[in-house]
Chain A
Amino acid sequence: MIDWISKRTRARAGLGFALGAILLFAVAPVALTDFRLSLLAKYLCIAMVAVGIGLAWGRGGMLTLGQGVFFGLGGYAMAMHLKLADAGEGNMPDFMELYGQLDELPGWWKPFANPFFALAATMLLPMLVAFLLGSLVFRRRVRGAYFAILSQALAAALVIFLIGQQGTTGGTNGLTDIKGFFGYDLADPVNKRMVYFIVAAVLLVLLALARQLMQSRYGELLVAVRDSEERVRFLGYNPANVKLVAYVVAAGMAGLAGALFVPAVGIISPALIGIVPSIEFVIGVAVGGRAALLGPVLGAVAVAWARTALSEKFPGTWTYLQGLLFVVVVAFLPGGLASLVGMVRRRTRPAAPAEPTAPAQPPATVLEGASA
């Protein structure tokens, strides 16, 4: 019975995966103009963050309101390298001479001139920060709302820090005007397409990775920790480690997303990684469905698209809509749009065997320990 179901879901997942790949690699590049395609690349970067949030929050119950931090670390690591490469050997990035009045490159910029170091840093740096915060916080059983607030405070602190260090980080403007991508000129539409294909490929890889994780024993354990941390502890596992893995993986995904966002959009700045964008990452996930695999991705792309489509023409209306969307989805449809599929299916085919779909119920987050 179990075997039969898993075979069927596996086949269906493979089909979905193939369909997604065809859409991303064959349909979109033909159907969309260069401008639209590079917008899509931007949305797909946001979707990568969403995959990580789906893992950490949807599966692990850790509401992280600070994914912007990891997105930003990855983005800044990449942008620093590209700025240095643009400036050429031995020169300083343009903005530094402008506001920094520095005579030479600050020491902590220097390693980023090496492409391999910079590429590794885009993932390892966020993962390291997530590891440090996560291991300190989860081991002391700080969780639920406490964790959400701390992750949010980290985002606030990073933004204020980046703005304060204007001379070396570009301050409020961030790192802008990125021209090249490892030797390719980003002004050339062909190279922009190449960036799009890289982004799409990475997203598919991350989805496959997330699926493997969710299907594995570890995935079961993560859900178990979300639903009853105490019980998992009594069974002899250390919930802190389980949560840490998901949090660090999510941070790495966000870092990679930030790194690819830079060549796709050409800028990284504090305004893109602060509290508000960090929560906006979560909105897409909530709308799409936090516990499913594809829900976060589709939700993130849909919300980002709606934002572009509406916010330029009607900025006020979009804000109302965004707020309302959040209220309605979280309060009344906690499983997101992904849970609608299950609801419809249950209604139309009442006799169908129960499938191991993602739980429509939100994680009953444990806060009792904190104050009750």
Chain B
Amino acid sequence: MTLVLSQFFTGISIGAVLLLIALGLSLTFGQMNVINMAHGEFIMAGAYTTYVLQQVISDAGVSLLIALPIAFAVAGLMGVALEWLLIRRLYTRPLDTLLVTWGVSLILQQVARDIFGTPNVQTRAPDLLTGNVKLFTSADGVELTIANNRLFILLLVVLAIGALTMALRFTSLGRRIRAVVQNRDLAAVSGIPTGRVDRLTFFIGSGLAGIAGVALTLLGPIGPTMGTNIIIDAFLVVVVGGIGQLKGSVIVAFTLGVLQSSVEYLTTLSVAKVIVFVAIVAFLQWRPQGMFTLRTRSLA
């Protein structure tokens, strides 16, 4: 029982990081139908922001807290720049945006290498986040603990989802974003400045990647290619969850996280990856448009 629970918690914390990345992707994917391969590099930017701040501010806790808004702004502004320079010219050609943003991501990785060097760097975690929380001791004396940093990330994710949901539901910007997602043309004729909404969406979505980058510094080293590997999993979350559907992303991120960690426990990491992939393809047989979709009258 303890084992099952501990795998479950590991899975949840894998899912939390995935979700943080997938939230931003889902938002921009849903809004503009574009796939941003440079999202991984926005994560990297967030992580390096944390690293730089820690060089300036010696208190790890303070620098981490300051890093959150700054990383959001840095990654967000990078997203806006990308949207303004390239993506808005291309959004009738979604597959091409994928390729173009991959070119951008190559360039950004090289920029990181030139500034920070090829080897990975590390940040110090604040003391508060280095310990574990003991949840309970089972009858046979096995303790179930959760690492504080994982709890912190979970909290961060809950806050991010809460803020995003509130913003989408109750603010006028949120209403506009939802309108553009549902029907861009109709939103445009209703007087919504879709171009400006796109840019703001990109700011928020990319900013979330920056926050994810801050979170990732608590889990491992920071390097120029850190975004590439994790972003594929996040894309899968978006695809399976249903594009532009936050609740789909939430459910799928945690499910995939738990699936990954439990299969991994039973077999090995490498087999788990393959099984998760097969599970995703199988799931798409059942719901090819993802778990949740907007109802439309379009074909297929």
Contacts and interface: CB of A to CB of B under 8 A. Distances in A.
A279 B102 contact: yes
A364 B93 contact: yes
A279 B101 CA distance: 12
Interface residues of B, number: 57
Contacts, number: 156
Contact of A330 (B96, B289, B296): B96
Nearest to A327: B103
Interface stretch (A2-10, A72-80, A158-166, A205-213): A158-166
| Range of interface residues on A (Cβ < 8 Å) | 35 or more
Contacts of B35: 145, 148-149
A164 B269 CA distance: 7
Interface stretch (B2-10, B109-117, B155-163, B201-209): B109-117
B235 interface: yes
A316 B228 contact: no
A161 B281 CA distance: 17
B94 A144 contact: yes
Contacts of A325: 103
A153 B243 CA distance: 17
B103 A323 contact: yes
Interface stretch (B54-62, B164-172, B272-280): B272-280
B110 A319 contact: yes
A144 B269 contact: no
A316 B243 CA distance: 36
Nearest to A318: B110
A124 interface: no
B103 A330 contact: yes
What 7 pairs across the A-B complex have the smallest Cβ distances?
A164-B270, A326-B103, A323-B106, A323-B107, A140-B288, A327-B103, A369-B300
B300 A141 contact: yes
Contact of A136 (B232, B269, B276, B285): B285
A334 B96 contact: yes
A370 interface: yes
6 contacts: A153-B236, A319-B109, A326-B100, A362-B95, A362-B96, A371-B29
Interface string B167-209: 0000000000000010110000000000000000000000000
Given A319-B107, A369-B299, 19 more contacts: A63-B98, A137-B284, A140-B284, A146-B239, A148-B35, A160-B273, A163-B270, A230-B300, A275-B232, A316-B110, A319-B113, A324-B107, A325-B103, A326-B103, A327-B107, A331-B89, A365-B94, A369-B300, A370-B289
A157 interface: yes
A165 B99 contact: no
A365 B95 contact: yes
Nearest to A143: B300
A270 B276 CA distance: 20
Contact of B268 (A148, A162, A164): A164
B81 interface: no
B255 interface: no
Given A160-B270, A323-B107, A326-B102, A331 B96 contact: yes
